[in-house]
């Protein structure tokens, strides 16, 4: 008979039982959200050596070992830039062919870059250079 480790939490409403042997979802890893706000702080408030040291500490396989990043599809919060989507058109207009689809303009990390190319893309590129095995989850 195998021994089970059961952890009980007693609340006023009900008992919560956590059984580590009862697996219902695959664990893909632990990580961080790389939003425009987070990426702008990482990219813009540190020199390249400090930034690399931070990302190495967080995502380096021999250090923090974070293995997943979540990236929003377009802006998701008050951030360093005005709200944007990947297919911005004036109110009432439509771009069904997605001819205006764009992650941004400019070189990744350049001061004049826009949208995801300003901060998110260069931070993700640096994370992947540190740990190419990091998984990326895109979410609206």
Assess if residue 1 is contained within a domain: no
Asked whether residue 5 is domain-assigned, the answer is no
Q: Is residue 2 situated within a structural domain?
A: no
Q: What are phi and psi of 115, to 5 degrees?
A: 50, -140
Residue 89 is assigned to a structural domain of this protein: yes
Statement: the pTM of the whole predicted model exceeds 0.85:
no
Establish if 8 belongs to a structural domain: no
> What is the residue-level pLDDT of the chain in tens, covering all 140 positions?
445 555 555 556 677 777 778 877 777 888 999 999 999 999 988 899 999 999 999 999 999 889 999 998 887 776 677 788 888 888 899 999 999 999 899 999 999 999 999 999 999 999 999 999 999 999 88
- The answer to whether position 7 is within a domain reads no
**Domain limits for position 40:** 25-139
d(CA 140, CA 32): 15
Instruction: Name the domain count of the chain.
Output: 1
What are the DSSP E strand ranges found in 68-134?
68-72
């Amino acid at each position: 008979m195998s021994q089970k480790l059961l952890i009980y939490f007693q609340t006023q409403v009900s008992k919560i039982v956590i059984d580590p042997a009862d697996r219902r979802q695959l664990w893909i890893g632990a990580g961080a959200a790389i939003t425009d706000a987070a990426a702008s702080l990482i990219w813009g408030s540190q020199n390249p050596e400090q930034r690399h040291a931070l990302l190495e500490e967080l995502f380096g396989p021999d250090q923090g070992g974070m293995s997943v990043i979540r990236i929003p599809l377009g802006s998701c919060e008050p951030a360093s830039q005005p709200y944007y989507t990947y297919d911005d058109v004036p109110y009432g207009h439509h771009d069904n062919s997605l001819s205006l689809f764009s992650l941004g303009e400019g070189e990744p990390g350049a001061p004049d870059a826009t949208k995801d190319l300003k901060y998110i893309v260069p931070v993700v590129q640096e994370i992947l250079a540190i740990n190419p095995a990091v998984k990326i989850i895109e979410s609206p």
